[in-house]
Amino acid sequence: MDELRQKYLGAIADAADEPALEELRLQAVGKKGEVSLKMRELGRMTPEERQEMGPKLNALKDEINSALAAKKAALADAALNERLRAEWLDVTLPGRPRRQGTIHPVSQVTDEITAIFADMGFSVAEGPQIESDWFNFDALNIPPEHPARQEHDTFFMSRAEGDHRPPHVLRTHTSPVQIRAMQETGAPIRVIAPGRVYRCDYDQTHTPMFHQVEGLAIGRDISMANLKWVLEEFCRAFFEVEGVELRFRASHFPFTEPSAEVDIRCSWADGSLKIGEGDDWMEILGSGMVHPKVLSAAGVDPSQWQGFAFGIGIDRLAMLKYGIPDLRAFFDSDLRWLRHYGFSALDVPTLQGGLSA
Ligand code: 2NL
């Protein structure tokens, strides 16, 4: 009896897991277990022996069963403790930051424009945003008294007291960048100049800072025909419409002669704009053959070289491409536009972010 007790209580205490415990239970108190077989022997004993052995065997059986139950609970406890140790998680750690921003539509459109002109052999030129009045005006055949200087609503920098030289200006177009490029590399040349420009004008359709891309191609015999093809190719690529149609209207700029404003065929239906179809025309850019005086100012001999130039407003182009029909939606009223600008608090959060249209 004592042997049995010691054997099983010891084995139960040493059991590594539940299957081992179940194995011991069957060996000891299962139907054919050692304790059960001993109980079956009670029938062959004398009443006296039975009186003594019966309760002892019952007590042993109870003892083994409680040891099994206790060990089972201890094993479960140990398993839980092991999980608590292994699956430990620090809920006080700071969250992983998720990027909320998207590329600004004006930056995106500038990149798109740059890529399209790069395919046609144009490189990108950059220059200062604060310019001398010579680079911004004189070199472009805009003399001091020309109404264009007022038309341009220029921001003038201030000079120190007693300094009477003409003030520098915030560039009103990116043309000075191209003047500088011509001065540096001469002809032939093919460049675009994207960037910020400034005009003192603020109302529902104008902001004092906006973005422009100008293009310039100078060669021996570059003509309006080349200009037309380059602009058509650009519009096809930019608006992703095969059948773009452009209309050149005679115009006037001091820096080009002849000059043309360019309209694109479009339709307005249910307040939405479609490029390349319909009966409407929308102005998208200004262009022309570079004025001989401008070539001279930039150090390029107009008897040897000629070429075209053009200027496009990027902000407007961004709005056209991303389906915002009204200029006034630029800064208010259109949540798609605002969301693109990062005013997410105004909008229902989305998982993807960015434009939904
Ligand atoms: C417009 C008009 C234009 C140019 C810009 C240019 C630059 C040089 C020489 C000659 Cl260096 N011209 N730029 C030419 C024609 C038009 O922009 O309405 N832009 C939105």
Q: What is the pLDDT of residues 140-176, one digit of tens each?
A: 999 888 776 775 689 999 999 999 998 999 999 999 9
Judged against a pLDDT cut of 90, whether residue 351 lies above it is answered with no
pLDDT score at 339: 56
Contact 191, 181 (CB under 8 A): yes
Is the link from the previous residue into 208 a cis peptide, with omega within 30 of 0?
no
pLDDT score at 353: 40
pLDDT score at 152: 60
Determine which of 190-199, 256-265, 271-280 has the lowest per-residue pLDDT on average. 271-280
Could you tell me the sign of the dihedral formed by the alpha carbons of 31, 37, 43, 47, in that order?
Answer: negative
Question: Half-sphere exposure of 67 toward its Cβ, with a 13 Å CA cutoff?
Answer: 22
Alpha carbons 144 and 167: distance in angstroms, whole number = 12
Judged against a pLDDT cut of 90, whether residue 129 lies above it is answered with yes
Q: Indicate the pTM of the whole model.
A: 0.69
* Mean of pLDDT values over 16-20: 90
Q: Give residue 217 CA to ligand 1 midpoint distance, Å.
A: 12
pLDDT band at 261 (very low <50, low <70, confident <90, very high): very high
Judged against a pLDDT cut of 90, whether residue 196 lies above it is answered with yes
What the block records as the tokens of 287 is 């262009």
Determine the 3-state secondary structure of 278 from DSSP. coil
Q: Give residue 214 CA to ligand 1 midpoint distance, Å.
A: 6
**CB 255 near ligand 1, within 6 Å:** yes
Judged against a pLDDT cut of 60, whether residue 347 lies above it is answered with no
pLDDT score at 284: 93
pLDDT score at 344: 43
At 281, which helix (H) or strand (E)? strand 280-290
Specify the DSSP class assigned to residue 221: S
Q: Which of 249, 310, 315, 316 to mutate to test the pocket of ligand 1 (most atoms within 8 A of CB)?
A: 310
Could you tell me the sign of the dihedral formed by the alpha carbons of 254, 320, 240, 266, in that order?
Answer: negative
Q: Which long-range contacts (CB under 8 A, 24 or more apart) does 156-161 make?
A: 157/130
Judged against a pLDDT cut of 60, whether residue 179 lies above it is answered with yes
Judged against a pLDDT cut of 70, whether residue 44 lies above it is answered with yes
Which residue, 338, 301, 297, is CA-closest to 141? 297
Alpha carbons 118 and 6: distance in angstroms, whole number = 91
pLDDT tens digits, 277-332: 999 999 999 999 999 999 999 999 999 999 999 999 998 888 778 765 555 554 44
More confident site: 108 or 345: 108
Judged against a pLDDT cut of 60, whether residue 40 lies above it is answered with yes
pLDDT score at 343: 43
| Minimum-distance ligand 1 atom for the alpha carbon of 179 | 11
| Minimum-distance ligand 1 atom for the alpha carbon of 298 | 11
Determine which of 49-53, 68-72, 324-328 has the lowest per-residue pLDDT on average. 324-328
**CB 33 near ligand 1, within 6 Å:** no
**CB 193 near ligand 1, within 6 Å:** no
Amino acid identity for residue 39 in this structure: M
CB burial of residue 136 (10 Å; 0-12, 13-18, 19+): buried
More confident site: 226 or 275: 226
Residue 274 dihedral angles phi and psi, to the nearest 5°? -120, 130
Amino acid identity for residue 250 in this structure: A
* Residue located nearest, by CA, to atom 19 of ligand 1: 311
Alpha carbons 330 and 335: distance in angstroms, whole number = 10
What the block records as the tokens of 326 is 């009204």
Alpha carbons 357 and 355: distance in angstroms, whole number = 6
Alpha carbons 245 and 277: distance in angstroms, whole number = 8
Alpha carbons 310 and 284: distance in angstroms, whole number = 11
Q: Give residue 316 CA to ligand 1 midpoint distance, Å.
A: 16
Contact 231, 310 (CB under 8 A): yes
pLDDT band at 345 (very low <50, low <70, confident <90, very high): very low
pLDDT score at 348: 42
pLDDT tens digits, 211-224: 999 999 999 999 99
* Residue located nearest, by CA, to atom 5 of ligand 1: 311
Dmax (CA) for the chain in angstroms is 139
More confident site: 338 or 305: 305
pLDDT score at 151: 59
Amino acid identity for residue 287 in this structure: S
**CB 287 near ligand 1, within 6 Å:** yes
Specify the DSSP class assigned to residue 307: E
**CB 253 near ligand 1, within 6 Å:** yes
**Owner of token pair 């407003």:** 313
* Mean of pLDDT values over 49-71: 91
